[in-house]
């Protein structure tokens, strides 16, 4: 037996290195094939197996050269045999696993690979080899069971790759155990092996993945549907040992995700791939079970990924196209799932979600005695539930709903969502701008945040087109504009909150544009196109942001307000319209802001002259922007510095002219008291600020002067982004052709300059 073990050990070392094997293939089969039948497997003891292996040792092939083992007492030999039986079987399985891995590897030499392939094919011709492995993974020894299952799964994948007919014994075994749900471990191992093989097919780089998967799924198409119905019809509360049911749910959920991923990416159309879309209510029933929170969380995330068509994305990375070809059958399936989501929300789905729970940490979820644990919401659940609802609404609206239906559904479901979110967001959402919910919920997850912003944009554009076709009166358009804010999906507000969260930092936008992990490029291009057509509304919203932010800074505002009152003591008190300008939607915004807050607006409103003066002062030349690339020579650095100065002077020249004109209008005859008051007011403004809203200016965000120019700061951010993209493109460092994007950014800058000039000459 010791000699048997040594041969296996030598074989393992050679295969691990990918070395060629000299002996005949059948000699190695003798050492790799377990020498007991499937009838004996379940009752075989260690001593029985050792006797069998001892017989093998007596009949070892003469062609295999081994050193003569030393003689030992019989009792010691028997003890060695009994203790080594398990190691022998594990080593056999390990050698087979490594050999198959070497066959599939492109790094293995051709001569060695052919020898390995020949050995495995001879091994598979053994009529009972698959049965032996199937029997072994039912063993009570967990490690032996796992190794047998993994070895069998690799052998199945090898058969598919080599176009060898799959073993009937294994297919029958899976069909039998999946025909109905049982608490046996056999079900879990069947699900695990099916999942493993499909993952290997996905990871394959060959062009025949669809054909390979089709061959693999064909025998199980019907049985999957039977198992789906049986599993989800279980009554959780009737199970004494719920751990096995939970284990089966998690395993099947992983398999279901791969089946749907193959439906989307490989364009196959088996019934088992569509079962979720055909019977979605079964999955939503699980969420209502009195089951552990992590199971509900997995199901919610799974449904979210299905609606976003992101299932299996980690396995397909690098090969998934950015824009997928139209797939009408898939659109029909997604609509069915979206309708099921909205129906479940109507029935109280959000109320069944466990938002609070133990914190998940690397060290475990148990809090040590004496340590305080501040309970907080599970933001993963909040994000998933939010995407679930808005994506379902988008899918429904894309399939022919009327404008009135869309408005009713949007108001109903967004109201439900915001009601669900508000208790879990601290500080709480302000009623005067509910669009902030998106940036608050998704602040920790960039890809989900940008996905949600893109979906909100799609809903807005769809509704806008429908409303423009049916509504012509100005009053109706104002009501529609108010509707977008009331339900938290106005794209301008969402984008401005995004910019505020990143501190108007163009380098963050550049990171988003370069990254392949988010949909920012698609979202950003669509927003810039909208901005070109909807500039007046954007500018009005910027003014509204300035008013609402000013309310949060009453101390500084009061100081500035008193200064303005001293300068214009003979004038009447300015109205809120003076701040919002002469845009067509200004009065609707002011009335809305007034209703949303009990504080009067006149405490924070300045005259146009004072506002413009503060804005001009805030637009001083910005600090040098952080460089995004290293320069090869000092000439490149000087060139950038010159370009940056020219860009800054070009963008601020109009503001300087505006400041000069306003100063001439107000007059230059200021007495010492006015100068003293102005000096005192400016001394209240910190020179530097570490808050995220302080970008490219020396005035902190808690000052009115830094907030009257939100539109300017937005365009300034775009200009810096434009310059950074241009520099990277010039050095061939940008990952794609940004010409169209640069044109959009340039056009926005031109529009801003034109509107600023128009405002200057009409003031």
Q: Does 73 reside within a domain?
A: no
The Cβ of residue 48 has, within 10 Å, a number of other Cβ atoms equal to 13
> For 523-579, what is the HEC assignment?
HHHHHHHHHHHCHHHHHHHHHHHHHHHHHCCHHHHHHHHHHHHHHCCCCCCCCHHHH
Whether 11 contacts 19, CB under 8 Å = no
Query: How much is the pLDDT for 761?
Result: 59
Query: Residues 204, 205, 210, 212: what is their CA dihedral angle, to the nearest 10 degrees?
Result: -50
| DSSP string for 435-448 | GGHHHHHSTT-HHH
Least confident of 23-27, 51-55, 538-542, 654-658: 51-55
Q: Are residues 260 and 391 both part of a single domain? A: no
**Does pLDDT of 654 surpass 60?**
no
| Residue 473 shares a structural domain with residue 531 | no
Higher pLDDT residue, 147 or 54? 147
How does residue 596 score in pLDDT terms, banded at 50, 70 and 90? very low
Q: How confident is the model at residue 316 (pLDDT cuts 50, 70, 90)?
A: low
Which percentage of the chain shows pLDDT scores above 70?
Answer: 66
Which pLDDT tens digit goes with each residue over 620-645?
334 334 444 443 333 444 444 444 44
Highest mean pLDDT among 307-311, 313-317, 430-434: 307-311
Q: What's the pTM?
A: 0.75
Least confident of 195-204, 390-399, 465-474: 465-474
668 in a domain, yes or no?
Answer: no
Output the pLDDT for position 552: 58
The rounded distance, in Å, linking the Cα atoms of 549 and 159 is 66
**578, pLDDT greater than 60:** no
Handedness of CA 459, 462, 463, 464 (dihedral sign): positive
Q: What is the pLDDT of residue 83?
A: 52
Q: For residue 700, what pLDDT is reported?
A: 40
Interatomic CA distance for residues 718 and 503, integer angstroms:
13
Domain count, the chain: 4
Q: What are phi and psi of 16, to 5 degrees?
A: -60, -35
Average pLDDT over residues 298-314: 91
DSSP-assigned beta bridge partners for residue 377 = 356
399 domain residue, yes or no: yes
Shared domain check, 222 and 136: no
**pLDDT, greater one: 623 or 246:** 246
Question: Quick one: average pLDDT of 612-617?
Answer: 40
Is residue 362 over pLDDT 90? Answer: no
Residues 143 and 226 in one domain: no
The model's confidence at residue 119, banded by pLDDT at 50, 70 and 90, is: very high
The answer to whether residue 462 scores a pLDDT higher than 70 is yes
Instruction: Tell me, yes or no, whether 1 and 116 share the same domain.
Output: yes
- The reported pLDDT for the residue numbered 628 is 40
Binning pLDDT at 50, 70 and 90, where does residue 589 land? very low
- Among residues 132, 164, 196, which one ends one of the domains? 164
Higher pLDDT, 289 or 666: 289
* pLDDT cut 90: percent of the chain above it: 39
Cis peptide before 427 (omega within 30 of 0): yes
pLDDT in tens, 671-721: 443 434 333 333 333 333 333 333 333 334 344 334 348 899 999 999 999
pLDDT attached to residue 553: 53
φ, ψ at 233 (rounded to 5°): -95, 5
Distance CA 41, CA 139 (A): 8
Could you say which of 164, 197, 218 is where a domain stops?
164
> Is 476 inside a domain boundary?
yes
Burial 276-298 (b: 16+ CB within 10 A, else e): bbeebebbbebbebebeeebbbb
Q: Which of 506, 424, 491 is nearest to 458 (CA)?
A: 491
Highest mean pLDDT among 30-44, 194-208, 737-751: 737-751
| Residue 758 belongs to some domain of the structure | yes
Same-domain status, 491 and 524: no
Mean pLDDT of 414-427: 90
Residues, the chain: 763
For residue 277, pLDDT beyond 90: yes
Residues 150 and 18 in one domain: yes
CB neighbours of residue 694 within 10 Å? 19
Distance of alpha carbon 528 from alpha carbon 744, whole angstroms: 7
Residues 6+ apart with CB under 8 A from 540: 580, 581, 583, 585, 586, 589
Whether 206 is covered by a domain: the verdict is yes
Helices of type H across 667-709: 672-683, 704-707
* Distance, CA of 123 to CA of 643 (rounded, Å): 71
- Count of CB atoms within 10 A of residue 134's CB? 25
pLDDT at 476: 67
The pLDDT confidence band at residue 5, using thresholds 50, 70 and 90, is: confident
Write down the pLDDT at residue 370: 59
pLDDT of residue 54: 45
- In angstroms, rounded to a whole number, what is the distance separating the alpha carbons of residues 175 and 222? 9
- Residue 561 CA to residue 574 CA, distance in Å, equals 11
Q: Which pLDDT value is given to residue 360?
A: 55
Q: What is the pLDDT of residue 133?
A: 86
- Whether 192 and 120 share a structural domain: no
Give the structural domain span for 380: 355-360+375-502
Please tell me whether residue 184 adopts helix, strand or coil conformation: coil
The gap from C-alpha 476 to its chain's centroid, in whole angstroms, comes to 37
The pLDDT of residue 432 is 65
151 and 113 in one domain? Answer: yes
User: Higher-confidence residue: 3 or 612?
Assistant: 3
b/e burial code for range 427-441 (CB count within 10 A of at least 16 → b): eebeebbbbbbbbbb
In a domain, 697, yes or no: no
- 141 and 83 share one domain: yes
- The set of residues, in sequence order, having a beta carbon less than 8 Å from that of 168 and lying 6+ positions away, is none
Q: State the pLDDT at residue 118.
A: 93
223 and 245 within one domain = yes
State the average pLDDT for the chain: 75
Domain-ending residue, one of 164, 196, 231: 164
Give the pLDDT score at 334. 95
The pLDDT-based confidence of 544 (bands split at 50, 70, 90) is: confident
* Lowest mean pLDDT, pick from 77-86, 346-355, 458-467: 77-86
Helix spans in 308-400 (H):
313-316, 328-346, 379-397
The pLDDT value recorded for residue 142 is 85
Task: Work out the average pLDDT over 492-499.
Answer: 95
Please name which of 90, 201, 108 lies closest in space to residue 154, comparing C-alpha atoms: 201
The answer to whether residue 402 sits within a structural domain is yes
Q: Which pLDDT value is given to residue 61?
A: 53
Q: Are both 490 and 514 inside the same structural domain?
A: no
**What is the structure's pLDDT at 184?**
76
Look at residues 621, 681, 627 and name the one whose alpha carbon lies nearest to residue 653. 621
In the predicted model, is pLDDT for residue 216 greater than 70? yes
Q: Which of 31-35, 157-161, 519-523 has the lowest mean pLDDT?
A: 31-35
């Amino acid at each position: 037996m010791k000699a048997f073990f040594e041969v296996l050990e030598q074989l393992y070392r050679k295969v691990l290195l990918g070395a060629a094997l000299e002996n005949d293939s059948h000699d190695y089969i003798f050492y790799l094939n377990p020498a007991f039948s499937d009838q004996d497997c379940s009752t075989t003891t260690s001593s029985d197996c050792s006797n069998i292996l001892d017989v093998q040792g007596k009949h070892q092939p003469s062609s295999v050269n081994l050193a003569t083992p030393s003689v030992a007492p019989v009792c010691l030999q028997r003890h060695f045999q009994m203790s080594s039986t398990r190691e022998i079987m594990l080593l056999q399985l390990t050698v087979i696993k490594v050999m198959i891995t070497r066959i599939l590897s492109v790094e293995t030499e051709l001569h060695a690979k052919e020898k390995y392939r020949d050995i495995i094919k001879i091994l598979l011709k053994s009529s009972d080899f698959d049965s032996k492995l199937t029997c072994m993974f039912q063993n009570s020894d967990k490690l032996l069971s796992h190794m047998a299952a993994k070895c069998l799964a690799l052998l199945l994948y090898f058969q598919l790759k080599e176009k060898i007919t799959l073993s009937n014994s294994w297919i029958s075994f899976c069909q039998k155990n999946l025909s109905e749900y049982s608490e046996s471990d056999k079900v879990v191992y069947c699900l695990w092996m099916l999942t493993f093989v499909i993952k290997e097919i996905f990871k394959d780089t060959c062009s025949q993945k669809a054909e390979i998967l089709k061959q693999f799924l064909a025998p199980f198409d019907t049985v999957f549907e039977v198992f789906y119905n049986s599993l989800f019809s279980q009554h959780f509360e009737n199970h004494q040992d719920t751990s096995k049911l939970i284990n089966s749910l998690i395993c099947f959920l992983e398999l279901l995700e791969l089946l749907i991923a193959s439906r989307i990416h490989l364009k196959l159309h088996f019934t088992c791939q569509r079962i979720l879309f055909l019977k979605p209510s079964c999955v939503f029933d699980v969420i209502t079970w009195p089951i552990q929170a992590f199971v509900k969380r997995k199901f919610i995330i799974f449904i979210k990924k299905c609606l976003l068509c992101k299932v299996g994305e980690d396995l397909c990375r690098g090969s998934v196209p950015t824009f997928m070809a139209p797939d009408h059958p898939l659109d029909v399936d997604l609509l069915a799932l979206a309708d099921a989501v909205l129906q479940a929300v109507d029935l109280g789905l959000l109320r069944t979600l466990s938002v609070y729970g133990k914190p998940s940490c690397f060290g475990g979820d148990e809090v040590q005695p004496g340590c305080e644990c501040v309970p907080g919401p599970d933001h993963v659940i909040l994000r998933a539930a939010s995407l679930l609802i808005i994506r379902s609404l988008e899918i429904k609206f894309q399939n022919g709903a009327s404008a009135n239906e869309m408005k009713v559904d949007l108001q109903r479901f967004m109201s439900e969502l915001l009601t669900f979110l508000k208790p879990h967001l601290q500080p709480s959402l302000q009623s005067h701008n509910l669009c902030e919910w998106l940036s608050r919920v998704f602040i920790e997850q960039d890809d989900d945040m940008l996905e949600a912003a893109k979906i909100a944009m799609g809903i807005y554009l769809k509704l806008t087109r429908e409303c423009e076709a049916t509504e012509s009166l100005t009053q109706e358009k104002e009501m529609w504009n108010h509707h977008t804010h009331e339900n938290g999906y106005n794209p301008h507000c969402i984008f401005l909150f995004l910019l505020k969260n990143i501190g108007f930092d163009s380098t963050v936008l550049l990171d988003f544009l370069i990254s392949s992990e988010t949909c920012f490029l698609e979202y950003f291009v669509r927003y810039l196109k909208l901005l070109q057509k909807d500039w007046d509304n954007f500018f009005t919203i910027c003014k509204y942001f300035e008013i609402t932010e000013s309310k949060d800074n009453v101390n500084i505002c009061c100081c500035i307000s008193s200064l303005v009152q001293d300068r214009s003591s003979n004038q009447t008190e300015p109205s809120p319209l003076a701040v919002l300008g002469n845009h067509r939607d200004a009065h609707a915004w002011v009335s809305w802001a007034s209703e949303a807050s009990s504080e009067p607006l006149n405490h924070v409103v300045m005259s146009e002259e004072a506002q413009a003066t503060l804005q001009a002062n805030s637009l001083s030349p910005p600090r040098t922007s952080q460089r995004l690339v290293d320069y090869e020579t000092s000439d490149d650095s000087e060139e950038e510095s010159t370009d940056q100065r020219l860009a800054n002077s070009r963008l601020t020249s109009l503001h300087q002219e505006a400041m000069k004109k306003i100063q001439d209008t107000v007059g230059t005859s200021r007495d010492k008291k006015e100068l003293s008051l102005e000096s005192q007011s400016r001394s209240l403004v910190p020179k530097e600020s570490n808050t995220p809203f302080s970008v490219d200016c020396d005035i902190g965000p808690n000052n009115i002067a830094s907030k009257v120019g939100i539109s300017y700061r937005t365009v300034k951010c775009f200009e810096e982004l434009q310059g950074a993209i241009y520099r990277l493109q010039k050095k061939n460092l940008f990952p794609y052709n940004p010409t169209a994007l640069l044109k959009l950014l340039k056009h926005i800058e031109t529009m801003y300059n034109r509107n600023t000039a128009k405002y200057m000459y009409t003031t």
